[in-house]
Structure 1
Amino acid sequence: MKTINILMSVAILSLGMSNIAIAKNDKAKELPPGLQKKLQKGQPLPPGWQKKVAVGHVLEQNIYDHRKVISRDGDFATISIEGEIFKVIENTREIVDIIRRNK
């Protein structure tokens, strides 16, 4: 009985800690309020966002929100963001191919 209580406590603690870690990671990727306002007004994305993208990386939501969908094929979408073209897994925003990069 004591072993079961210990196992249950460990399971509950680990579930609680995983939610905290996920929440912190999501929060860390948000833009500051001033940049959010600029983006909402249609102003360009911050300089250097392109440096953050590579095959296998997940596009940040604030960057992904500025996409134009070129085509969809099942779970994949070909998108354009400020002239750069990517193939992504639509549900996760993971980049599977960089088709065209601006120089």
Structure 2
Amino acid sequence: MNIKILVITLTVLLGVNCFADKPQKNIPSGLQKKVQKGKPLPPGWQKKIAKGEVLDLKTLSTAKIVYSTKYPKINGTKIYELENKIFRVMSATREILEVLK
């Protein structure tokens, strides 16, 4: 009986990390200004626009929403363009689901 309780407790405690939010990446204000002027991000920051990354609100606000029939519409997602990259984001979590271009 005690072993079952111990196993269940350990399973719950170790499983909590699986559901923790991914850390958000903030773009510094200097880089935000650069993006707003149409200049590219440094290579290290460009790589942050990748599948599975969670975008912060500041980064998402600098991206343009893409309205195009070229990309299939999926409920709960939006298509954005930032730094010549087009990517699909889950609206509720801001997680990049796929990089389209």
Higher RCO, 1 or 2 (CA under 8 Å, sep at least 6)? 2
- Please tell me the residue identity of whatever aligns with 2:66: I
Percent identity reads 26
User: What are the within-5 Å matches in structure 2 for residues 1-103 of structure 1?
Assistant: 29=26, 31=28, 33=29, 35=30, 38-39=33-34, 42=37, 44=39, 46-48=41-43, 49-71=45-67, 73-100=74-101
More strand by share: 1
Aligned length, in residue pairs: 74
More helix by share: 1
Q: Distance in 2 between matches of 1:82 and 1:41?
A: 10
What's the TM-score, normalizing by structure 2?
A: 0.54
List structure 1 runs of 4+ shifted beyond 6 angstroms. Answer: none
Give the CA deviation at 1:39.
4.5
Give the CA deviation at 1:38.
2.6
Gaps of 5+ in 1: 1-21
Q: Distance in 2 between matches of 1:38 and 1:98?
A: 23
What's the TM-score, normalizing by structure 1?
A: 0.53
